[in-house]
Amino acid sequence: MMTALMLVAALAVPVIAGMSLVCLLCPRLKLGITETLLVVSLGIPVGFGVVSLVLFLWLVATNGQTRGAAILLVLVAVLLAAAGIARRRRGNGMSLDRSSNAESGLRWLAPAVGFGVLMTIGVVVLTAIAQPHGAWDAWYTWNRHAIFMQRGGIYWRDAFSAPETGWTADYPLLTPGAIASAWIIFGRESLLVSNAIGLLFTIALIGLLVSTLAVLRSRTQGLIAGVLLAFSPQLAIQGAAEQADVPLASFYLGTMSLLGLYDRSEGSRQWLVMSGVLAGMAAWTKNEGLLFVLVLCVVRAAVVTFSRGWRDALRQATMFGAGLLPVLAVIVYFKLRVVQAANDLLMHQSASAEVQRLFALGRYWYTSKAILAGVLGIGGWIVTLPAMLVMYLLLAGANTQRRDRVPIATGALTLGVMMVGHFFVYVLTPHDLAWQIRASLPRILMQLWPTAILTFLLFAKTVEEQRDGDAKQSAHATTLPQWGVNRVDGQPAFTMVAKAGRDGR
C-alpha cells in the first residue's frame, strides 16, 4: 500500500508541476473536456522535462548530491501549482476557438478510440512485464544514465566522461533525469517507475493529438487522429521500451500543436512561449531534437515571412525564443561543461571518408529504399497505412481554409526537411549503414508519426465539412431542374427532380 502511494506521489509531482507550468505560460483557458485533456496531455511531458532540468541543475550545484533533491522537486511542484491556481483565480479563462462544434453523427468513434487506448495500455503493460528493463537503449543509455544521476554521487559525471567512447554518451538528460527524479521521490530505484513513465508519455501523446485536432479542426478529426495513433502497434512497443522516442514524439507534437493554436488565436503569444519551451525540451531529450529545433526555426521563419511578412516572423521568433533559450542554455552547458565523451557519429569521421560516403550512390539507393519501406510500414499496422490515408484524402478532399495554411505548411515542411536531415545522417554515418538503419529508422519514424498525423488531418477535410458540402449540394440539386429545364435541354422538370433526388442521397 505504501509502495503504491509513493509511486503515485513520484509520478504526481512531475505531472502537477507540468500542468501548473502549462496553466502559467499558456493563455488562461476555460476548462472543458477538450481543454482539460490538452492541459493534462501537455502537462505530463512538460512536467517530466521540468523535474529533469531541476535535478540536473541541482546535481551540478551540489556536485552530485541527491540529499535534499526530493524536497526541492516537491517544492518546485508546489510553488508552480500555487502560482497556477492564483493565475486561474484572477479571472475567467478564454474559450478556444473551435473550428467546428457540429455533430458528425459518428458516435461509435469515441468508444473505438477508447478501446484503442485500452489496447495500447494493455500492450504496454504486457510488454513491460515481459521486458521490465525496457529495450536496448534503455539499458545502454537512459536507465543507466538515470542510475548515475540517482546514486552516482560525486561520480555522476563519469557517465559522460572521455572513456565512455560508445554510443550516445553525449545524449541529453530529459529521460534519465525524469526517471532519476521519480526514483528520488519514490525513495529507491524501481522498474515500476520507469515503466509507468513510459506508459504516461504514451497516453499523453494520444491525448495531446486528439485534443489539439479537436480544437483546430473538429471533434471527429481529433478522434480519427486517436484511431490512427492508438491503433498503431509501434506506439505501444516504443512506449514500453523505456526509450526516449515516445517522449521526443510528445515534444515534437506539443511544439507543433501550440504553434497551431497560436495561428488560430492570433495575439495570444503565450502559445509561442510555451511552444519554445517544448521545442527546447525536444532538444533536451535527444540529439535529434536539436535537428528539430534548427529545422523548425528555419521553416517557421520562412513560412511566416512568406505569408505574413518579416515583422511578424521576427515577433514570433522573439516569443518562441523566450521559451526556447533558457532550456537551450542548459543544453549548451551540459554539452560544453559536463560531456567529455565524443559523439559517436562525429568521432569516427574523417573528411576523406565523409566525402567518399557522400559520393557513394549505393548508399543513397539503399537508404532511400529503407526509408520508403519504413514509411510504407509506419505505425506497424497490418495494412499499408499511407495508402489508406491517400485514399481517405481523395475521398475527404483537402482543407482549403486560409487560416490553416500556415500550420499545415509548417508541419509538412518541418517533417520533410527532418526526413532529409535523417537521410543524410544515414548516408554519412561512420557505422555499418544496414545496422544503423535497422537499429534506428523505426524509432525515428515513430518520433515523427504523431506530427505527421496532425499535419495530415489539418490538411484533410473534416466529416462535418463533408456533411455541410453534401447538404449544400443537395439543396443546390433540388433547385437545379427548373434552371435546367429552361437552360439545358428542355426536359420536363419532374424527371430532373427525381434524378437529383437519387444522386443527392
Partner 1 sequence: MKNARRIEIALATLVLFGLLSNVSSAHDAAMTMRRLPSDSDMVTQFGVHIAAIRRDLPDHGMVGFVSEPPEDMTVNAVYSREWVWLRYFLAPLLVVPYVPQRAWNGSDAPPPYTPLVIGSFHGAAPTRLLEEHGLVIVKDYGNGIMLLRPR
| Binding residues for partner 1 (CB under 8 A) | 106, 108-109, 112, 115-116, 119-120, 122-123, 126-127, 129-133, 136, 139-140, 143-144, 147-148, 151-153, 155-156, 158-159, 161-166, 224, 227-228, 230-233, 236-237, 379-383, 388, 391-392, 395-397, 431-432, 435, 463, 466-467, 469-470, 504-505
CB of 220 to partner 1, least distance (A): 9
Closest by CA to 50, choosing from 85, 81, 86, is 81
Question: Which is closer to partner 1, CB of 198 or CB of 380?
Answer: 380
Question: Which is closer to partner 1, CB of 52 or CB of 143?
Answer: 143
Question: Which is closer to partner 1, CB of 167 or CB of 333?
Answer: 167
Task: Give whole-number Cα distances, 94 to 25, 76, 98, 152, 254, in Å.
Answer: 14, 27, 12, 46, 20
CB of 152 to partner 1, least distance (A): 4
CB of 241 to partner 1, least distance (A): 12
DSSP string, 19-46: HHHHHHHSPPB---HHHHHHHHHHHHHH
Q: What is the C-alpha end-to-end distance of the chain, expressed in Å?
A: 60
H or E stretch including 80?
helix 69-89
**Amino acid identity for residue 450 in this structure:** P
Q: What are the cell numbers at 464?
A: 462535418
CB of 332 to partner 1, least distance (A): 25
For the chain, what's the residue count? 505
Contact (Cβ atoms closer than 8 angstroms) between residue 42 and residue 208? yes
Q: What are the cell numbers at 222?
A: 481529433
Contact (Cβ atoms closer than 8 angstroms) between residue 293 and residue 324? yes
Contact (Cβ atoms closer than 8 angstroms) between residue 277 and residue 46? yes
CB of 396 to partner 1, least distance (A): 6
Closest by CA to 338, choosing from 189, 137, 152, 76, is 152
CB of 214 to partner 1, least distance (A): 16
CB of 163 to partner 1, least distance (A): 5
CB of 436 to partner 1, least distance (A): 9
Contact (Cβ atoms closer than 8 angstroms) between residue 393 and residue 271? no
CB of 106 to partner 1, least distance (A): 6
Question: Which is closer to partner 1, CB of 185 or CB of 229?
Answer: 229
Contact (Cβ atoms closer than 8 angstroms) between residue 183 and residue 146? yes
Closest by CA to 184, choosing from 157, 161, 141, 152, is 152
CB of 505 to partner 1, least distance (A): 7
Question: Which is closer to partner 1, CB of 170 or CB of 263?
Answer: 170
Dist. CA 373–CA 450, nearest whole Å: 18
Contact (Cβ atoms closer than 8 angstroms) between residue 279 and residue 250? no
Question: Which is closer to partner 1, CB of 116 or CB of 254?
Answer: 116
Dist. CA 121–CA 136, nearest whole Å: 21
Dist. CA 372–CA 315, nearest whole Å: 38
Closest by CA to 31, choosing from 154, 296, 215, 209, is 215
Question: Which is closer to partner 1, CB of 27 or CB of 132?
Answer: 132
Locate all alpha helices (DSSP H) within 309-333, ordered by sequence.
310-333
Contact (Cβ atoms closer than 8 angstroms) between residue 48 and residue 281? no
Question: Which is closer to partner 1, CB of 158 or CB of 425?
Answer: 158
Question: Which is closer to partner 1, CB of 306 or CB of 435?
Answer: 435
Question: Which is closer to partner 1, CB of 46 or CB of 396?
Answer: 396
